[in-house]
């Protein structure tokens, strides 16, 4: 985000939609990992397990 700020002169961290945007990005990434893990991709399975473990309280 610093690179964007430095390049474009806008601080994304100040954007009120940043939280929603990052949650959407995370859901998209989770969906992609789920599809790949379902096709027996060991790296995707590992990534999926990691993402689930960090999101569980």
Whether residue 8 lies inside any domain: the answer is no
Q: What percent of the chain has pLDDT over 90?
A: 35
Q: Is residue 7 part of a domain?
A: no
In a domain, 29, yes or no: yes
Domain count, the chain: 1
Give the pLDDT band of residue 2 (cuts 50, 70, 90).
confident
Backbone dihedral angles phi then psi of residue 49, each to the nearest 5 degrees: -60, -40
56: confidence class by pLDDT, cuts 50, 70, 90: low
Residue 2 lies in a domain: no
Examine residue 26 and state whether it is found in any structural domain, yes or no: yes
At 57, the pLDDT band (50, 70, 90 cuts) reads low
37 domain-assigned: yes
Asked whether the whole model's pTM tops 0.75, one would answer no
Structural domain span for residue 43: 16-55
Reference 30, options 54, 1, 57; nearest CA is: 54
Place of tokens 């027996």: 40
Decide if 39 is inside a domain. Answer: yes
């Amino acid at each position: 985000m610093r690179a964007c700020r430095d390049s474009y002169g806008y601080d994304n961290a100040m954007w009120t939609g940043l939280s929603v945007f990052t949650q959407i990005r995370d859901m998209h990434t989770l969906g992609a990992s789920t599809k790949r893990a379902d096709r027996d991709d060991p790296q995707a399975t590992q990534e999926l397990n990691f993402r689930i473990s960090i999101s569980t309280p």
